[in-house]
Amino acid sequence: MTGVGRIWQDGNMPTRSSKDHDFATVARGIVERAIGERLDGSPLPDPDAGKNPAAVALGKLGGAKGGAARARNLSPAKRKAIAKKAAQARWKKD
């Protein structure tokens, strides 16, 4: 039954998350991030490797102040309208 409406059930998609949910593995990862290196002494991979450092800095800066700046610039009436629209979208029946 692999019709157009059922393309997610064609056997190619995993049936569950591929993330490791083993407690010991998760705990080890937390400890390694906390100490800044792997337990065998090797360094952790750099998450920003291959990225432009200036672009990374700008992205962090904009993300940190974006929401607060937008909230300051909105009038109370506009904030209320946005909140109403969000509430209607949350409670809309399918």
Per-residue pLDDT of the chain (94 residues; tens, 9 = 90+): 445 555 555 566 666 666 777 899 889 999 999 999 999 999 999 888 888 988 888 887 777 777 788 888 999 999 999 999 999 999 987 6
Determine the pLDDT at residue 9.
56
- Kindly state the helix (H) or strand (E) to which residue 82 belongs, with its residue range: helix 76-91
Q: What residue numbers bound the domain in which 46 lies?
A: 4-91
CA distance 6 to 2: 5
| Cα torsion angle, 64, 70, 76, 81, sign | negative
Report how many domains make up the chain.
1
Determine the pLDDT at residue 33.
92
In 3-state terms, the chain is what percent helix, strand and coil (to 5)?
60, 0, 40
Kindly report whether the global pTM for this prediction surpasses the value 0.85: no
| Residue 11 DSSP label | S
